[in-house]
Amino acid sequence: MLGFQETLPDDAFVLNVMHRLARERRRRRLILFVFGLIGAAFGLVGAVLLSEPLATLFSGLPPMGTVQITLFTVAAVAFYAWFMNEDVDLTV
């Protein structure tokens, strides 16, 4: 009398739910893939549009000045990392 006597859903119901879940998962992956491709295309177009102005900017600078600015920037980042005691863990 105290036993629970409810019938479990049949296998067809469970298979239907699993198929709907798989279909929604495929739809989600397709949407993410399409919008990822659109984003990549916009990024590529932006890079192409900016490549000429950046090339003219860096071609107008003296090479030694560009190297010195790069070295100063790297030194500033290294000093900041040392001063703030930032440990970079390179182990995997």
Is the pLDDT reported for residue 68 higher than 60?
A: yes
Question: Looking at the chain, how many residues does it have?
Answer: 92
Residue 69 and residue 67: Cα distance in Å, rounded?
A: 6
Query: Is residue 58 within 8 Å of 66, Cβ to Cβ?
Result: yes
The predicted pLDDT at position 41 comes to: 96
Question: pTM score > 0.85 for this model?
Answer: no
Average pLDDT over residues 87-92: 64
**Which pLDDT score, from 0 to 100, does residue 12 have?**
87
Task: Pick 57 or 3 by higher pLDDT.
Answer: 57
pLDDT attached to residue 66: 83
8 A C-beta contact, residue 81 and residue 88: yes
pLDDT of residue 31: 96
Residue 86, pLDDT > 70, answer: no
Helix (H, G, I), strand (E, B) or coil at 3: coil
Please count the helices (runs of H) and the strands (runs of E) in the chain.
Answer: 2, 0
Q: How confident is the model at residue 1 (pLDDT cuts 50, 70, 90)?
A: low
